[in-house]
Amino acid sequence: MSNNVKLASIKESDKSGTVAEKVSVQYSEDVQQNRLYLQALCESLVFCGRQSIALRGHDESTDSKNEGNFLELMKLRSKDSNLTKQFYVETDGFSIHIGDFPE
């Protein structure tokens, strides 16, 4: 590698930051997104609790017309919130439930 290429690489890394800095920034952004989503989940849980709404439905399977109050509330919130939509839609909803684990 020539000295000019090395020098150009060093100047470019000074402008855009090192790999470690980029990873750190991405990690911080991911943590912030996760915290906001967790806040949305907690707000929904508190709402259901204050209204005395049961969280589970009779049939929470994906082919059910009514998957339960909490899941339906999260579907509704995902229509208004890009963050909730990102987590809910991109992960195919809440696909793993406690009752779904094999015994």
CB-CB contact of 55 with 71 (8 Å): no
pLDDT band at 95 (very low <50, low <70, confident <90, very high): very low
Q: Is the pTM of this model over 0.95?
A: no
Alpha-helix residue ranges (DSSP H) falling in the chain: 3-16, 19-50, 69-80, 82-90
Average pLDDT over residues 55-82: 79
Q: What is the DSSP letter of 101?
A: S
14-67 pLDDT tens trace: 676 666 777 788 888 888 988 988 898 899 999 999 999 888 877 767 677 777
Which pLDDT belongs to residue 100? 41
